[in-house]
Structure 1
């Protein structure tokens, strides 16, 4: 009688075992797909940042050329801008290294824009105004892309470090990523004189 009962229980145990394996497999697939999705969002965010940083890097020589025509004596500043731009373009895809290089570039660019404030003829130049507007627009886009990327990285990092994904993330090559933090100095905004109206 006991042999018959154990014989009848065996298929039930096999069914539970196979059901458990199927649940683990489904959980693994869902976890893997979630990690892939979060990783792709972070990749997309980084790509957007890269596009905007390259756009800014392409605007800088035009700004230097325009400002140089009015402030040729600022040669040291223009050299610094060129060096920092080259370093930023060579920084690659490491968010921490790229952020440091871009922050270092932002400082002399802000000083260069401040120099432009001392030259009313340049400030009135349509070419300079257009470049200034494009640079401002690009910096806004960099900030939006940075927020998107950091949000995607936060979600990926949370998933990579959370149970049960943390059991499989390393196996599949998913790692936490570094946030992109860039310090953009205050832009040189045109001065508005409201005292003269009356």
Structure 2
């Protein structure tokens, strides 16, 4: 074998090794970004689960108040069941699925918080209890946690999508099935504050 062929072989081998190193680095970064999105989504779901659990506490609290009619919580219970029935994995974070999830959560939020405000206005003997005050504080904290988790999820999605869509990373992303994820965005009508009394009287 002459020196020319040997030199070409060395160059090709060096290019192949560099390509392998580059490809491995890109792949590992894509995996990390994908895992970050999955973790951020799990945190979103965990905070929504916290709210579901608090709604159960609300039901138990108001059902123990003799003056309060249990039927007024029907919509809250139904909205809770609907919201908890939509579960997404990290591979299902498409715009359509995120919209369905968010719509269900929005309906639950309006129903839940609307009735909480109604209780505070119309049942002072209930809102004066320590249990109800503690529950109210937990709800406020939970809503803040949900907002933080959604913001962090959107940050993780933005970082992931930048990685999988930019050249040359997108070449390997397409080969290995790393797809863009859908961020949270406000649902239609979210810019208008709901009427608490109207929400309560829907049922």
TM range (shorter): 0.7 to 0.9
Structure with greater Cα Rg: 1
| CA shift for structure 1 position 170 | 2.1
Q: Which runs of 5+ in 1 are unaligned?
A: 1-5, 189-198
Question: Which residue does 1:106 correspond to in 2?
Answer: 109
Normalising by structure 2, report the TM-score.
0.81
Segment drifting more, 80-89 vs 114-123 = 114-123
DSSP-derived class of the 2:177 partner? coil
Q: Distance in 2 between matches of 1:105 and 1:149?
A: 20
Q: Does 1:89 align with 2:92?
A: no
Classify 1:35/1:71 alpha carbon distance in 2 versus 1 (closer, same or farther; 3 Å): farther
Classify 1:23/1:130 alpha carbon distance in 2 versus 1 (closer, same or farther; 3 Å): same
Q: Which runs of 5+ in 2 are unaligned?
A: 89-96, 197-203
Question: Which residue does 2:178 correspond to in 1?
Answer: 174
Residue-pair matches, total? 181
Q: Residue by residue, what CA displacement relative to the aligned partner does 1:160-179 show, whole Å, maximum 9, x if unpaired?
A: 10111110112212111111
Normalising by structure 1, report the TM-score.
0.83
**Matches for 1:42-57 after TM superposition, within 5 Å:** 42-57=37-52
Q: Residue by residue, what CA displacement relative to the aligned partner does 1:142-184 show, whole Å, maximum 9, x if unpaired?
A: 1111111111111111111011111011221211111134668
Q: Distance in 2 between matches of 1:49 and 1:70?
A: 36
Question: Which residue does 2:126 correspond to in 1?
Answer: 122
Segment drifting more, 118-127 vs 40-49 = 118-127
Q: Distance in 2 between matches of 1:122 and 1:170?
A: 57
| CA shift for structure 1 position 61 | 1.9
DSSP-derived class of the 1:175 partner? coil
Classify 1:71/1:22 alpha carbon distance in 2 versus 1 (closer, same or farther; 3 Å): farther
Q: Residue by residue, what CA displacement relative to the aligned partner does 1:9-62 show, whole Å, maximum 9, x if unpaired?
A: 211111111111111111100100000000111111011111111111011022
Contact 1:157 1:177 (8 Å CA) reproduced? yes
Name which of 34, 40, 49 aligns with 1:39.
34
Aligned-residue RMSD, C-alpha: 2.2
DSSP-derived class of the 2:106 partner? helix
